[in-house]
Structure 1
Amino acid sequence: MKNTIFMMLAIIGLTTTVACGSNGKKEKAKTEVETEEISQVAPDIKEEVVSQEKELGTIVGVAAGNENFTTLVAAVKAAGLVETLNGTGPFTVFAPVNAAFEKLPEGTVDGLLKPESKEQLTGILTYHVVSGKFVAADVVKAISDNNGSFVIPTVQGSSITASLDGENVILTDAKGGTSKIIMTDVAASNGVIHAIDTVVMP
């Protein structure tokens, strides 16, 4: 009788061991399949991200593709700044829309686009450029963290002061003139563009 009981227990134990081993192999096989599937999908996702980054143009390319910046692009070309703004950066550009240039006194734009005005034009344009990438949320946070106004050094050398008027970000230039940011976070491969409604002056 004892021998019969021992034999039954041994058979049960063996069956359990085999079942567990079988389940273990199934789980391992499942894991290997899932891992293989993930490894196959991951390169596709990575390639898609890289492709999207490549498709995003530089600041000059993005501006050139937007009909609101035709005057700005013409000015950038006249000043010889295309190569600079196509560089690695990153840059933040406060870009005047066409209507902003139209606010200038009559003949000002035509005069600035002449070869003899290249140095002056370069100074004005680089006054709209900041080294580094700062999205709208960064600008608003900097204003809030600095008691309502934030002084921003530009590539030109002088500074612009950013402040808030309700929900609008206002830029005050070196001459006391003001400009409002009317469009934010236009992405480029080497930075970001914020459109403004008035040309700021160093």
Structure 2
Amino acid sequence: MSSHRIRTSAAAITAVVAFPLSLGAFAPQAFADNTASSPSSTPSPFGPGCSSLPHEGKGSAKGMAKERVATAAANNPKLTKLALALKDAGLTTKLNDAKHVTLFAPTNAAFDKISKMKLAGLLKDKAQLKKVLTYHVVDKTITPSELPNGSFKTREGSMLKTTGSGTSFKVNDTAKIVCGDIKTANATVYLVDKVLMPPS
């Protein structure tokens, strides 16, 4: 074999070996670039009550994100009493048609804290029921960063305030946010453990 052929073969072998190595050196950078350019995951809802939500399907955080707020509430096992109250007050369609609102949503357990007599009276008085429920709605998107010292005008017309820090917040110093920052198709939802009553 001539020396020219030996040199050519050696060069070819070197190229074959070097090509995969160059790919290996490039691959981590390419992977890093892809990772960096991928969209960041949406923040998860926070609070001790979030773990009791369905993990998937209707009523889950992902399921609620696909639905309008009143519909999402009706499909959430924690909010069925709220959904019925919204329907009785004639607010279901109005909430579903709203844009970029925040709902402080009383859970079933929150409604259970009201005496049966008082609750029955509230449900029969449509005007008062509407007043109470619209006090839970703010016509803007409230982010978690606004909760530590927040003051917001509700659809009812009165103000409500939020206080707290980290992942522990209260509304009007009485109702705890048990699961916050749940997104729906047209609203942000904060589950609260007490029905909020507007100032008389």
Aligned counterpart, 1:75? 85
Structure 1 segment 160-171 matched on structure 2, within 5 A: 160-164=160-164, 167-171=167-171
Indicate whether 1:188 and 2:193 are aligned. Answer: no
In structure 1, how many angstroms separate the alpha carbons of the residues matched to 2:119 and 2:82?
A: 10
- How far does the alpha carbon of each residue in 1:127-151 deviate from its partner, in whole angstroms, 9 at most, with x for none? 00000112323x23xx3xxxxx321
Give the equivalent residue in structure 2 for 1:179.
175
Aligned to 1:66: 76
- Does structure 2 conserve the Cα–Cα contact (< 8 Å) formed by 1:91 and 1:130? yes
Q: Cα distance, 1:166 vs. partner?
A: 6.6
| Alignment match of 1:96 (pick from 78, 103, 106) | 106
Equivalent position amino acid for 1:125 in 2: L
Percent identity, aligned pairs only, is 35
5+ residue gaps, structure 2: 1-61
TM-score w.r.t. structure 2 length? 0.63
Residue identity matched to 2:112: E
Work out the number of aligned pairs and report it: 136
Q: TM-score, normalised by structure 1?
A: 0.63
Question: Which structure has the larger Rg?
Answer: 1
SS in 1 for 2:79: helix
Following superposition, the deviation at residue 186 of structure 1 comes to 1.5
Give the structure 1 partner of residue 115 of structure 2: 105
**1:3 alignment partner in structure 2:** none
What is the distance in 1 between the residues matched to 2:174 and 2:166? 15
CA–CA distance in structure 1, aligned partners of residues 69 and 196 of structure 2: 19
Q: Check whether the contact 1:135–1:184 (CA below 8 A) recurs between aligned residues.
A: no
